[in-house]
Amino acid sequence: MKKKRKDCVFGLHFDFHANPEQTGIGENYADESWAVMLDKVKPDFIQIDSKGHPGISSYPTKVGNAAPDIKADILKNVRRLTAERGVLLYAHHSGVWDKEATRLHPEWGAVRKDGSKTGETNLFCDYAEKLLIPQLKEIASYGLDGAWIDGDCWGVIRDYGRSADEFFAQTGSRDLESQEYADFLRERFLQYVDHYARAVHAEYPDFEIASNWMYTSFCPEKPEADVNFISGDYLPANSVASARVEARLIANQGMHWDLMAWGFNIQHNFFVEKTPVQLMQEAAATLMFGGAFQVYNVQNVGKISERAADGWKEIADFVRERTELVHALPYNRTGYFYSTAGYRYQKEMIYNNPGDARAYDNSGELLAAADTLLNFDGGFTHYFAEHLDEYENLIVCNFGEIEPQMKERILAWVERGGKLFLTGTYAAQAFSEELGFKPEREEGVCFLLHGKESFGMRTSYFRISEDAGRGGLYFDYTAEKEHIPSYFVLSRGAGKIGGLTFDIGRDYKDSYSHAMRKFVAHVLDEIGFSRELLFAKPYCMDVSVQKKENRVYVDLLNLNGDHSNERVRSFDDIPPLTDVEFSYACEEPRAVRLLVNDSPVSFRYENGRLHAKIACIPIHNALVLEY
C-alpha cells in the first residue's frame, strides 16, 4: 500500500518565493545534490517550491504565471528522484496571497481600508476557479503526492472591496469594522478551502492537501473542509515556546498533523542557521503531543545545501527514535479551553495571530500554567463540547466571550465538582455574572507580591473588594501601600471557580520571573487542581502525558538553553537535566521502560503511584508504561 502523509514522522521543506524578476531558476540544479541529501537524511517526505506569495511559479506551468527564465524543471526532476526512493513529495504553493494574479486581474484583489492592494485575493472572485484549482491539478498531474498551501487563512484580510459588496447584499450592513463582517469572511474562507480541495480531489483523490495553519490557534474551527492533514510553520525566534502552545491546541483535532520549524533564525535581516540541537528541542515539543515534525530550509533557486545534510540527518535520527509518539493522544486530567467565539471576539484580523496582542498574551498564560509542571492538553469549542466531562480541571483562555451553551455546560460541570481557572481580566469578564462582580478593566503599573517576592508589570487589572479576593496586587515598588486582591477563589456547588484579577500573559512571555511561576502554581493549588504528576523539586521542563494503544507516555522536555533569549539566534549547548525525580498517579503497569535508552532509570510502584528517577535528560525522553 502506498505511503500517505499519516505514515510520516519527519520531513524537510524547501521554498524560495520566486519574484517577477527571478532569472536562472534551475541553472544550479543538480540531481546529485538532491540524491545525496535524500540518501543521507532519508526523510519521509519533502516539500519544494511551486509558487510563493509573489505569485510567480518556479516550474514551467502551462496554466499559471511562470518565471521568465526557467533553466530546469525542478519539480519534475525532484519527483523522479523522490519516487525512486519512496519519499513523498508535496508542493509549497501560495493560496490566498498571490501578488502576480492580483496584478494581472485587479478585480481579484482584496482592498485594504486605505484603498491599497497588497496581493491578497478576495474570497468572492473566481481566482480559485481560474488559477488555483487548475494549477493544483497540474501539479497533481506531475505525480506529486500533495500540496502545502501557504498564505491561506492568515492571508485573508478585511476586504473593503468585492467582499464588502457581497456582505451588504446578503445582510444590508455596511459596517465593515464589525465582528459580524469578520465572521462573514471567516465562514467564506472555510467554504473556499473546502471548495478548492474538493475540486482537486474530484479528479485526483489521492492528492493530499493542507492549508497552512488551518484548524490551529490561527483558525480554531472544527475540521470539516476536505483537507487531509494539519500543518503550520511557527516563527523562527522563541520557537520552542510556539511549539509548546500550538502542539497542545492541535493535538485533539482528530487529524494527522505536524509542525514546521524554521531551520534558520533572522538577525539584522541575515539568516543564522540553527544547530541540530536547537531543532531537536523544537521537534520534541511537537512529538510530546503526538505530532510529526519538519524543518524549513531555503531552496536557493534550485540547489539545496549538501553541507547542511549531516545536521538534517541528526535531527531525523532524533525524531525517528521517538516515532512511536506520533499519533499518540493526550491523556490528562486538565484541559485548556480555547473558545472559538472568544477567539473571534473583538478580533481585527480574520484568521491570523502574529501582530495580534491578545493572541500573544494568551500564549504567555498557557506557558505560565505549563511551567508549573502541570500536564494538560488543549482544544477548541467543538472538542470540549464533547469531551469536557473527561477532565477534572479546566483552564479558560483569556478571551472576553464564550459560547452561551458552552458556558452553561462548564458551569454545570463546576457544580458537579470541576475546578475552573480563569486566566485574566477577559476570561473573568466572560463569567462576570456568575462571579458576582463586573470587571471594570484599568491599565497601569502594578507589583504582584507573592510570599516575600514581587515583580512589576504594566498590565490590565480590575478591582474587587478585599473580602472577595486573595493575594496582593500593589501600586508601589515597595509593595507596602495601596493594593487590591490579585486573585479570587469562589465555591460553586461541589466545585470551584478561581481566577486572576490581572493579565499575566504578556509579562510572563516577555520577561519570565520564577515568582510569576510560583504564583500561578499557588493559585492552581488554591482552586484545588489535581495533579497526576508530582515532582521532587521544580525543574526547567515541560511535561505531557499521552496514550497510544496499551502504552502511556510520560514525556519530559528539557527547557534549558537559550531558545527564548532574543540576543541568541544560534546555540549548541543545552545543559542536561539531572536526577529528575517524580511520581505519577496510575494503575500499576505490567512493564516500564524509557522511550530512548540513554540514561539510567529506577522506578517502583507504591500506593497508586509510580515513582521514578531518571539520571539524565539531555533534551527529551519519555517514561513508557505498558499495560
Query: Could you give the CA distance from residue 432 to residue 509 in angstroms, rounded to a whole number?
Result: 26
Confidence bin at 16 (pLDDT 50/70/90)? confident
Q: Which residue, 262, 273, 276, 279, is CA-closest to 314? A: 276
Judge contact between 554 and 533, C-beta under 8 A: yes
Provide mean pLDDT across the span 403-427.
97
Instruction: Report d(CA 215, CA 179) in Å as an integer.
Output: 20
Give the pLDDT band (50/70/90) at residue 196: very high
Question: 0.75 exceeded by the pTM?
Answer: yes
Query: b or e along 77-102 (b: 16 or more beta carbons within 10 Å of the residue's beta carbon)?
Result: bbbebbeeeebbbbbbbbbbbbbbbb
Across residues 114-126, what is the average pLDDT? 97
**Average pLDDT of 296-316?**
89
pLDDT tier at 39 (50, 70, 90 boundaries)? Answer: very high
- Point out which residues pair with 487 in neighbouring strands: 470, 500
Q: Which three cell numbers stand for residue 601?
A: 532509570
Q: Is the model's pLDDT at 355 over the cut of 80?
A: no
Instruction: Determine which of 139-143, 159-163, 552-556, 566-570 has the lowest per-residue pLDDT on average.
Output: 566-570
Q: Which three cell numbers stand for residue 604?
A: 517502583
- Residues 440, 426: Cα–Cα separation, whole Å: 10
Q: What is the mean pLDDT of residues 586-599?
A: 95
Report the share of the chain in percent with pLDDT over 70.
99
Answer whether 139's CB lies under 8 Å from 146's CB.
no
Work out the average pLDDT over 406-432.
97
Predicted confidence (pLDDT) at residue 613 exceeds the cutoff of 70: yes
pLDDT at 148 over 80: yes
Helix axes 309-320, 31-41, angle to 10 degrees: 30
Burial of 457 (0-12, 13-18, 19+ CB in 10 A): buried
Mean pLDDT of the chain: 95
Condensed to tens digits (0 to 9), the pLDDT of residues 59-83 reads 999 999 999 999 999 999 999 999 9
Residue 225 has pLDDT above 80, yes or no: yes
Average pLDDT over residues 18-39: 93
* pLDDT of res. 266: 82
Length of the chain: 627
Residues ≥6 apart with Cβ < 8 Å to 466: 484, 485
More reliable by pLDDT, 265 or 367: 367
Q: Across residues 488-511, what is the average pLDDT?
A: 94
pLDDT band at residue 564 under the 50/70/90 scheme: confident
What is the percent of the chain with per-residue pLDDT over 90, rounded to a whole number? Answer: 86
User: Is a pLDDT exceeding 90 seen at residue 432?
Assistant: yes
Please report which confidence band the pLDDT of residue 439 belongs to, taking 50, 70 and 90 as the band edges.
confident
The answer to whether the beta carbons of residues 561 and 281 sit under 8 Å apart is yes
Q: What is the pLDDT of residue 418?
A: 98
Residue 334 contacts residue 376 (beta carbons within 8 Å) = yes
Q: What domains sit in the chain, N to C, each tagged with a CATH number?
A: 5-96+126-156+209-327 (3.20.20.80), 333-530 (3.40.50.880), 534-626 (2.60.40.1180)
Quick one: pLDDT band at residue 357, thresholds 50, 70, 90?
low
Cα 623 to Cα 390, 595, 613, 626: the distances in Å are 23, 6, 10, 10
Q: Of 117-121, 297-301, 344-348, 431-435, which range is least confident? A: 297-301
